[in-house]
Amino acid sequence: MKKNLKVNLIWFGLIIGLFLILKGLELSGIMNLYYIQILMGIGISILMGLGTNLVLGFSGQFTLGQAGFMAIGAYSSAIITGMMPTYDGFYLSMVVGVIIAAIVALIFGLPTLRLKGDYLAIATLGMAEIIRIIIVNGGELTNGAAGLTGILPYTSWPVIYFFVVIITILVLNFLRSATGRQAITLREEDELIEVKVTDDNKEIILVTKQGQCIKFKETDVRTTGRTSMGVRGMNLSYDDEVVGMQLDTQGEQLLLVSEYGLGKRTNIEEFGVQHRGGKGVKCYKITEKTGNVVGAKAVHDDQEIMLITNEGIVIRIQVSDISILGRITSGVKLMNLDPSQDVVVASIAKVRKEENDKPEEEAEEDAGENADENN
């Protein structure tokens, strides 16, 4: 609690300090009207960027309707301010603009609620075009394509500065709320495949279905917030995707298995450390006989592995029975499959040893230790 209070006080101090610096520059004449106009344009762009980042950056939805909603707010504010040329009218116009934009968003949002990707982009682009046509054909109310002129200059840089601060705080609080966390989703056609606990001392290995692999230090991945979407770990080629993520401490060899039941082990030392974001190196030779890579596991000789097909067939194999081969090779047959029957390996998993699987001598020693502790 004290830590959060300290951080909040620091941010509050920075906000006030920046405002005082800008105000001092204005009063001293260093920041003339030209620079004030630039500053106001920057503030308006920040406000628009916050909205775009919320929809596109965090929720991963591709929408092209921000300009239309901004036009609704701008024209509503200009029209009402013209009718009520006072500061009260100016602030009332902003409230009315927000309400009108929200109503329009609801009208367009309900029919397009289930749209994603290109379909959502087309729908929102159409919405923005409808708003533009209404404005152009708005007659005296909007002054058509010429736009509204003679708008009283109630907007000043302190007002825009205030709204930038307030909107930023509201967006951050929304993202940290339960509703905001539900709104933040993975990008279109993306999914979470692995989660690992790390300690800043491990190396991360990513493997793709086309047989590419990259190993990089986990410190290359900067620490981000719980609601963020992370950073790029690997630069994927067209139609490629990551199928596995392992840590170098999980095993001595990297086990790779392909669709048609072939697999191999490769010593992890053969994979050099690179910087994250690269294309990696070839770790499995893909052919028509092997199919794409479906999984990767860091393993030890004394472990067991299970292969599971799309038909529910399961086979359990001792890791030590799988050949250790070089990096740029295909695997050996681990499971007899008939590709013509559309039966392929769907996933692989390591067999976890339970406490009951201990050897009798080890179990007796544990029992003796427990008895001594109880005595």
253 has pLDDT over 80: yes
pLDDT at 3: 57
Cα 241 from Cα 57, distance rounded (Å)? 21
* Tens of pLDDT, residues 76-108: 888 888 888 888 888 888 888 888 888 888 888
For the chain, list the domains and their CATH numbers.
2-183 (no CATH), 203-353 (2.120.10.90)
Mean pLDDT across 349-375: 54
Percent of the chain with pLDDT over 90: 32
pLDDT at 183: 56
Residues whose CB falls within 8 Å of the CB of residue 161, separated by 6 or more in sequence, listed in order: 19, 22, 43
281 has pLDDT over 90: yes
125 has pLDDT over 70: yes
Mean pLDDT across 121-131: 88
* Tens of pLDDT, residues 282-292: 999 999 889 99
pLDDT at 297: 94
Q: What is the pTM of this model?
A: 0.54
More confident position, 39 or 231: 39
What type of residue sits at position 371?
A
3-class DSSP state for residue 148?
coil
More confident position, 375 or 354: 354
- CB neighbours of residue 228 within 10 Å: 13
The helix-helix angle for 66-83 and 117-136 (nearest 10°) equals 30
Cα 122 from Cα 116, distance rounded (Å)? 10
Cα 246 from Cα 60, distance rounded (Å)? 26
Q: How confident is the model at residue 367 (pLDDT cuts 50, 70, 90)?
A: very low
Can you read off the two tokens belonging to residue 86? 């006072």
Cα-trace Rg, the chain: 30
* 283 to 40, 220, 256, 260, 272: CA distances (angstroms): 53, 22, 9, 17, 11
pLDDT at 148: 82
pLDDT at 237: 86
Query: In this predicted structure, which of 7-11, 223-227, 281-285, 312-316 has the lowest mean pLDDT?
Result: 223-227
3-class DSSP state for residue 158?
helix
Mean pLDDT across 46-60: 80
Residue 53: DSSP 8-state: I
- CB neighbours of residue 107 within 10 Å: 10
Cα 259 from Cα 293, distance rounded (Å)? 6
